[in-house]
Structure 1
Amino acid sequence: MAADPNTQLPDGTPGPVTADDVVQAVELAVAALRAAADADWNAPAGSLVWTCWETGEHLADDLFFYAAQIGSLRPLEDDSVRWGYSRRRAEGPDNTITVELEAGPSAMLGALEAGGGILAAVVRATPPTARGFHVFGASDPEGFAAMGVVETLVHAHDLALGLSIAFEPPADLCARTLHRLFPDVPGDTEPWATLLWATGRGELEDRGRRGKWRWYGAPAAT
């Protein structure tokens, strides 16, 4: 079950990002992508140089990687898990997780569902005091859940553009994710448009497209 969209903290800000949010994000993405079963997955994914297929693999890889980072028996704050990786093309992403090309888009969707399920399970099972490595700074289970949601939503957007399908996630899911990872963005703009702007994928009111961006995964001070 997804988090209650009306849930807020006592100060009126959105509630925390949870494993249920990871599940919701992946289920929404997969549901949208089912409409593209017969589309050309070799087309560019939105503004990316990657193909839609490469982008789907990258997303599955992200979900797996975040689960491994925070779910290790001994999570490391100062170093990444050293999985091997490869590229399909020189311009493509480095991926540990790949999907059999011959199996087609249905296999890609299965890989996304598996990755989402693994990350959600790890977030539920990992103590909130655990910390795992990320290039933007060590983070906790909620932070990795939020990273998984961001990756899922923005890459579903990239894929939707490349595959000519519709995709728009609910505002509450975007708002919780923005609150957790993007403290530097405006809080009075539409959450989905703000998330796309925060990740360099669009303009926001009088703000131009971001050339560089990052999130902030550090846990809140206690």
Structure 2
Amino acid sequence: MSRSAETGSVLSPVTADDVDLAVRLAVDVLRDAPAERWGSKAGSLEWDCWETAEHLANDLFYYAVQLGPQSPPLDTHVPIALNRKRPDGPTVFLYAERAAGPAGLVQVLEACGALLAAMVRTASPLVRAHHAAGVSDPEGFAALGLQETLVHMHDLAEGFGIDWTPPSALCSRVLTRLFPDAPDGGDPWLTLLWATGRADLPGQPRLTTWRSDSTPRS
């Protein structure tokens, strides 16, 4: 049974304001992150903290770009070339200048988040564009950006050895939009970490694979 079916309530959509808030909270944390830990492994990922933050910025940029064309492609992403700095590193469209240091990387992340929020605000709700988790609408891309921000900040926080607990309301909206079959009634943040394979959830098997569903709900 889906979360919305279980609760029987009308749930608020994910909005550009949610993206703004999540990115602002992330940026506030990352600006104070220990400078010597940017090369540390980010949580359970095989990437370091710099690569993970750079990947997050690319995710936000990617979602914004998908909504940009007058007729977005439905079968593949907008054809911006993908690259890797190393074989096991993340695939990205853009890199932050290393010479600009962590402050520059955080600025890139902030800018990419602003681009996504702007596109979500201005795109028609009827727009549909490609994503591997399902052809999506602007709200879906906002939810995907929110998911990536919240969850990758968990990875980064583990790498930096700092705390990160996002607002429950943001986690609930992501779960409702992208993981409608996730168990309801528990802590939304823990449930989101479970749904993305990063935590145990009482009464549920640990997930070794997972997939969000970004298709429109109506």
| TM-score strictly above 0.5 | yes
Runs of 4+ displaced beyond 4 Å: none
Q: 1:63 aligns with which of 57, 60, 63?
A: 60
Cα deviation for residue 39 of structure 1 reads: 3.1
Task: Give the whole-Å Cα distance in 1 for the aligned partners of 2:145 and 2:29.
Answer: 17
Letter in 2 for 1:28: L
Post-superposition shift, 1:11? 4.5
Q: Could you say which residue in structure 2 is the equivalent of 1:78?
A: 75
Letter of the 1:133 counterpart: H
Contact 2:34 2:160 survives alignment (8 Å): no
| Among candidates 207, 212, 215, match of residue 210 of structure 1 | 207
State the 1:211 CA deviation.
0.4
AA matched with 1:16? P
Query: Counterpart in 2 of 1:3?
Result: none
Specify the alignment match of 1:18 in structure 2. 15
- Unaligned segments of structure 2, at least 5 residues: 1-6
Unaligned runs of 5+ residues in structure 1 are 1-9
Q: Does structure 2 conserve the Cα–Cα contact (< 8 Å) formed by 1:17 and 1:180? A: yes
The equivalent of 1:7 in structure 2 is none
Tell whether the 8 Å contact from 1:22 to 1:120 is kept in structure 2 after alignment: yes
Q: C-alpha distance in 2, partners of 1:104/1:73?
A: 36
Does residue 120 in structure 1 map to residue 121 in structure 2? Answer: no
Q: Does 1:41 align with 2:28?
A: no
Alpha-carbon RMSD: 1.3
Aligned mate of 2:146, from 125, 149, 154: 149
Q: Which moved more, 1:60-69 or 1:75-84?
A: 75-84
> Residue 13 of structure 1: CA displacement?
4.1
Cα deviation for residue 71 of structure 1 reads 2.3
Tell me if structure 2 keeps the 8 A contact 1:37–1:106. Answer: no
TM-score, length-scaled by structure 2: 0.94
C-alpha deviations, 1:43-83, integer Å up to 9, x for none?
A: 11000001111111100000000001122222122221111
Matched residues, number: 212
Of the candidates 25, 28, 40, which is equivalent to residue 28 of structure 1?
Answer: 25
**Could you tell me how far 1:14 is from its partner in structure 2?**
2.8
In 1, distance between residues paired with 2:87 and 2:151?
Answer: 23
Matching residue within 47, 50, 53 for 1:50: 47
What is the distance in 2 between the residues matched to 1:19 and 1:143? 11
